[in-house]
């Protein structure tokens, strides 16, 4: 069965003219900025408590899934780079509903994460300004992020680069500092820091396989946002070079940061001492005897939140604009000014303002938010993988051999990633703590599906395809 190409699509194999957009450096750091956030700096404590040292295996497994998902996205993006990225690819290879639900689920995911980060900023700023209302800092944040996203793509890229440099520097400093404690017996309690902490207290699997499985949700939450590579790649000056470079290096860098950082934490502090009452990163600096650790980490976490909101708003705006051009979102969202989706960004900022007020009524729900974001994240990953598999099945052997950035280990790597994601949904159904998030995610999927048919999207898409075919 042949699939009609979307009206916005450029012919496969067409060389895209070089334009002033995002460079390799920008794309790398946008992806890192979206992935390295509160999920690592604070969410890692919950994952460690659930699994103990075996959480390291979960990070490795999660990293493998992310790699195969990004390679699938990279294969499609290099073959045909276009705004809207994975939502448009799902529309092309999985049908109208596939593109629609993928794009809106991604927007849902990003808004949830943004709300959590905005709320965190309001709380963390009280460290320095306890008498100032949280809404003041949230308003300032939205002004900064809004201005960055309404500016040119290049200006956005530069701001995200600066934010991410701070986060990456903090992680590297923690890793180097932890290594110094081990090698030179530094810190206030050097005798506590031992590699044997990885297996001395209850073994490597202190809470059994069940504990390790329970950590999957928080670990995958930490990897969320990496798919923004595909969105940013469509804004690149040279997509055929930038996308493969980012896809091949960013997952490895994220995984190294995560695994090394968590390994250092577990070696310096026995896993049972990581209670979540403070960031595991704060505990590292406290072990070093750095009295200003709290202030330093507060600054880093605020920067991490700003970076994540900045990158997530960028990605959501581009995806919804792509959906609008495919008649899967209000047409007003398709309008751009100097290649910036102004209407979409303004709409999203309005949603965030409303969401902040609602979220303020329900504090201390980090794990539920993380679980809900995880549902949306892995759902999007699943659709990306299925779209790439569907694309391959529609291609001839000659077309497959001609791919410039083919996925490795085809098709076994893709099937492994798909099975892992399906298993994650099973975990959410199995463990009571995550059933609420699963229920909300399923409800959102059902509601958006009803709206898809109730608003006549299938008929609109069919008409648009017919008009395009007659041109």
Q: What is the pLDDT of residue 352?
A: 79
- pTM, rounded to two decimals: 0.82
- Long-range (24+ apart) CB contacts under 8 A made by 121-125 are 121/302, 121/305, 121/306, 124/298, 124/301, 124/302, 124/305, 125/302
Secondary structure in 3-state letters for the chain: CCCCCCCCCCCCCCCCCCCCCECHHHHHHHHHHHHCCHHHHCHHHHHHHHHHHHHHHHHHHHHHHHHHHHHHHHHHHHHCCCCCCHHHHHHHHHCHHHHHHHHHHHHHHHHHHHHHHHHHHHHHHHHCCCCCCHHHHHHHHHHHHHHHHHCCHHHHHHHHHHHHHHHHHHHHHHHHHHHHHHHHCCCCCCCCCCHHHHCCCCCCCCCHHHHHHHCHHHHHHHHCCCCHHHHHHCCECCHHHHHHHHHHHHHHHHHHHHHHHHHHHHHHCCHHHCCCCCCHHHHHHHHCCCCCHHHHHHHHHHHHHHHHHHHHHHHHHHHHHHHHHCCCCCHHHHCCECCECHHHHHHHHHHHHHHHHHHCCCCCCHHHHHHHHHHHHHHHHHHHHHHHHHHHHHCCHHHHHCCCCCCCCCCHHHHHHHHHHHHHHHHHHHCHHHHHHHHHHHHHHHHHHHHHHHCCHHHHHHHHHHHHHHC
Instruction: Dig out the tokens for 410 from the structure.
Output: 């085809």
Helix axis angle, 293-325 to 86-94, nearest 10°: 40
Q: What is the pLDDT of residue 293?
A: 67
**118 Cβ neighbours under 8 A, 6+ residues apart:** 138, 141, 142, 305, 309, 352, 356, 359
Q: What is the pLDDT of residue 6?
A: 42
Residue whose entry in the numeric block shows the structure tokens 């790398």: 28
Any idea what the Cα angle at residue 195 is, between residues 190 and 200, rounded to 5°? 105
Q: What is the pLDDT of residue 442?
A: 94
Q: Which of 350, 353, 372 is nearest to 108 (CA)?
A: 372
CA dist., res. 428 & res. 378, Å (int): 12
Euclidean distance between the first and final Cα of the chain, in Å? 21
Cα dist. 236→85, 225, 337, 363, 461 in Å?
12, 18, 18, 39, 28
Q: What is the pLDDT of residue 391?
A: 94
In the chain, domain spans = 24-465
Instruction: Dig out the tokens for 362 from the structure.
Output: 């329900």
Q: CATH: 3.40.462.20, 3.40.50.720, 3.40.367.20, 1.20.1740.10. Which one for 24-465?
A: 1.20.1740.10
471 residues of the chain, pLDDT tens digit each = 333 334 444 444 444 444 455 676 777 677 676 667 666 776 677 888 888 899 999 999 998 998 899 899 888 888 887 665 788 889 889 988 998 999 899 888 888 878 777 777 777 787 788 888 777 888 888 888 888 777 767 777 777 788 888 888 888 887 887 787 777 776 666 556 677 778 887 888 988 888 898 888 888 887 877 787 777 666 666 767 777 777 777 777 777 888 888 888 888 778 887 776 666 776 666 666 666 766 777 788 788 878 878 777 877 887 788 778 777 778 777 777 777 778 788 888 887 777 677 656 665 566 677 788 889 999 999 999 999 999 999 999 999 998 988 899 899 999 999 999 999 999 999 988 888 889 999 999 999 999 999 988 888 777 766 654 554
Instruction: Dig out the tokens for 97 from the structure.
Output: 């509903």
Q: What is the pLDDT of residue 258?
A: 83
| Count of all residues that appear for the chain in the document | 471
């Amino acid at each position: 069965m042949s699939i009609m190409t979307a009206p916005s699509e450029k012919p496969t194999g067409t060389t895209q003219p070089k334009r002033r957009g995002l460079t390799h450096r920008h794309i790398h750091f946008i992806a890192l900025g979206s992935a390295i956030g509160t999920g690592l700096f604070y969410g890692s404590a919950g994952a460690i408590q659930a699994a103990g040292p075996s959480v390291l295996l979960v990070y490795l497994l999660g990293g493998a899934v992310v790699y195969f998902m990004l390679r699938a996205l990279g294969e499609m993006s290099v073959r045909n780079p276009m705004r809207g990225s994975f939502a448009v690819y799902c529309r092309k290879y999985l049908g109208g509903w596939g593109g629609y639900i993928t794009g809106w689920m991604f927007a849902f995911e990003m808004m949830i994460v943004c709300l959590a980060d905005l709320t965190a900023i309001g709380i963390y700023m009280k460290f320095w300004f306890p008498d100032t209302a949280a809404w003041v800092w949230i308003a300032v944040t939205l002004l900064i992020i809004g201005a960055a996203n309404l500016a040119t793509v290049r200006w956005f890229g530069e701001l995200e680069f600066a934010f991410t440099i701070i986060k990456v520097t903090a992680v590297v400093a923690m890793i180097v500092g932890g290594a110094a404690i081990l090698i030179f017996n530094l810190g206030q309690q050097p005798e506590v820091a031992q590699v044997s902490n990885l297996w001395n207290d209850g073994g490597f699997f202190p809470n059994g396989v069940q504990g390790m499985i329970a950590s999957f949700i928080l670990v995958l939450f930490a990897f969320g946002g990496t798919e923004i590579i595909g969105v940013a790649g469509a804004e690149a000056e040279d997509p055929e070079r930038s996308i493969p470079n980012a896809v091949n290096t960013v997952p490895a860098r994220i995984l190294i940061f995560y695994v090394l950082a968590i390994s250092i934490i577990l070696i310096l502090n026995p896993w049972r001492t990581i209670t979540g009452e403070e960031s595991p990163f704060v505990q590292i600096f406290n072990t070093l005897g750095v009295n200003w650790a709290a202030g330093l980490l507060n600054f880093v976490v605020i920067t991490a939140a700003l970076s994540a909101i900045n990158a997530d708003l960028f990605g959501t705006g581009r995806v919804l604009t792509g959906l609008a051009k495919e008649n899967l979102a209000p047409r007003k969202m398709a309008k751009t000014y100097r290649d910036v989706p102004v209407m979409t960004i303004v709409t999203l900022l309005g949603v965030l303002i409303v969401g902040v007020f609602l979220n303020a009524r329900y504090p201390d729900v980090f794990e539920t938010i993380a679980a809900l974001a995880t549902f949306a994240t892995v759902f999007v990953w699943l659709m990306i993988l299925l779209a790439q598999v569907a694309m391959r099945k529609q291609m001839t052997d000659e077309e497959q051999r001609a791919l410039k950035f083919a996925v490795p280990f085809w098709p076994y790597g893709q099937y492994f990633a798909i099975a892992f994601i399906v298993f994650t949904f099973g975990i959410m159904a199995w463990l009571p703590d995550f059933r609420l998030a699963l229920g909300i995610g399923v409800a959102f999927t059902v509601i958006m599906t009803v709206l898809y048919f109730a608003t006549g999207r299938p008929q609109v898409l069919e008409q648009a395809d017919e008009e395009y075919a007659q041109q």
